Amino acid sequence: MGLKGELTEVFSTDANDYDYSAIALNAEGTILVCADFDNNLYCFSVNFDDDSCELEPQVQAELDGGIALCMCGSSDENTFFLGDNEGCIYMWNPVKEELEGVTQLEDEIIMDIQFCDHPEVGEMLVFTGTMNEICYWSLKKGEAIASVELPGCGYCLSVQNEYLMCGVEDDNYCIIDLNTPDEIMEGNEQKMAVKSTGSSISYISCCAVDPSGDYFYLGGGGSGSGKGVIIYPDEKPHAFFAQGSSNRPASCNDMAAFMLEDNSALVTVGSSKQCFIWGVEDRSNIAKFPKSSSSRYTSSSTAYTKVLIHPCNELVVVVEGADPSSMLKNKNFRTRKGKIVLLRLEVGKSRGGSSFSSGKKSFGNKKSGSKFGKNKNKRRW
């Protein structure tokens, strides 16, 4: 690929009295939603143009029950779905301020949820968790239409074009070709044969499917530095990147795959409190933020826990907060310093010769009573 770039912080919220547990963007990149470990839901409008970038608070809601651990958008730009640690799935429309339950799996935890518009089956939710299954839920029928049995807990999901990838406990994974609708037709239950990463990762925390369909990625951590692997179809996993070093271990907490100037790219974040952009074909590091972790990372500090790519591929959304590995060791562990950071990615020549202001903007914890539709003079993506 031979690309080199730069990540620059252009906006951040103030550190709040909570840690974010889930985050999602709509397909247009105009609405960002997130949840915290205190059962609160938040909605921001994304104001993004050539000269500025900021998140504007819109509405706030409270989840009556469990903690939302995962979120996803849908074909409707204002509708999101979320799964919690009590087995509940909710539909939330923050614009209409509507929050309603979709279904509940008793005594289960929804670890990840994805939206899929399948040409044969229609719009559906795909979710996994402690039920040891990948479940397909038809939004048209309002019921489960199929399931895939897993040998253990499903930790993470990624749906991209015709492929679905699932990270499973004991460093296993599976890849499903969604072009074969027989696998997800009504009433079908099957057992999925999983593959192992070959101990490349001690535990899996995230996965991603490349938009090209040529690559699949897994990230996690364990002994030594946090690792990631790249998987080629019908080939063994290959070590791809390491976040941190042997004397400063760092897990990979989240990742997202995207296309960068017609090349496959991957963004990762982890406990080193750094964000990396990787070139896949030549396995190169295109950019990272901050450039040095020495002044930002200690064993007791916050971590980068979630990452999203804006549809324009020039904006990276990063969540900072309690390190998931620390929370696994201590259920009561909280940093109470959660915040959202927006990073501008510049590679080669900038669009139209313009660039973001280098000045960082932030807002406090004030509640906003504003609704969508304001600031219409700002260009939305």
The amino acid at 54: E
Between 27 and 191, whose confidence is greater?
27
More confident of the two residues 331 and 23: 23
Q: Specify the length of the chain in residues.
A: 381
Tell me the C-alpha distance between 21 and 306, whole Å.
9
Q: What does the alpha-carbon distance between residue 68 and residue 83 come to, in Å, rounded to a whole number?
A: 6
β-pair type (303-309, 80-84)? unpaired
What pLDDT, on a 0 to 100 scale, did the predictor assign at position 308?
A: 96
Residue 377 has pLDDT above 80, yes or no: no
Contacts of 157 (CB under 8 A, 6+ apart): 112, 113, 114, 126, 127, 128, 134, 164, 165, 166, 167, 207
- pLDDT in the model for residue 228: 82
Instruction: Give the global pTM.
Output: 0.85
DSSP state of 287: E
Q: What is the rounded average pLDDT of the residues 11-16?
A: 86
For 156-225, give the DSSP string: EEEEETTEEEEEETTTEEEEEETT-GGGGSTTEEEEPPPEE--SS-SEEEEEEE-TTSS-EEEEEE-SSS
Beta carbons of 127 and 110 less than 8 angstroms apart: yes
Residues in contact with 369: Cβ distance below 8 Å, sequence separation at least 6, in sequence order = none
pLDDT digits (tens, 9 = 90+) for 82-115: 999 999 999 999 999 999 999 999 899 999 999 9
Q: Are strands 188-191 and 143-149 parallel, antiparallel or unpaired?
A: parallel
Checking if the pLDDT of 194 tops 70, the result is yes
Phi and psi angles of residue 328, each rounded to the nearest 5 degrees, phi first? -65, -35
Residue 373 pLDDT exceeds 50: no
- Residue 255 has a pLDDT of 95
pLDDT of residue 313: 85
Angle value at C-alpha 157, between 156 and 158, nearest 5 degrees: 135
Residue 340 neighbours by CB distance under 10 Å: 24
Angle at 195 between CA 281 and CA 88, to 5 degrees: 100
> Are 94 and 58 spatial neighbours (Cβ–Cβ below 8 Å)?
yes
Convert the pLDDT of each residue in 30-69 to its tens digit. 999 999 988 899 999 998 876 678 899 998 999 988 899 9
Give me the mean pLDDT over the 1-5 stretch: 79
**pLDDT band at 293, cuts 50/70/90?**
low
Indicate if the pLDDT at residue 295 is higher than 50: no
Residue 154 pLDDT greater than 80, yes or no: yes
pLDDT tens sequence across 334-348: 556 789 999 999 987
Cα separation values, 268 from 56, 265, 277, 289, 357, Å: 25, 10, 7, 11, 24
Q: By percentage, how much of the chain surpasses pLDDT 70?
A: 76
Yes or no: say if 341 and 12 are a contact pair by the CB < 8 Å rule: yes
- Are 38 and 321 a contacting pair, CB within 8 Å? no
% of the chain residues with pLDDT over 90 = 49
DSSP 3-state assignment of 72? strand
Whether pLDDT at 349 is above 50: no
Tell me the pLDDT of the chain averaged across its residues. Answer: 80
Q: Name the β-bridge partners of 199.
A: none
Task: Give the number of other CB atoms < 10 A from CB of residue 311.
Answer: 15
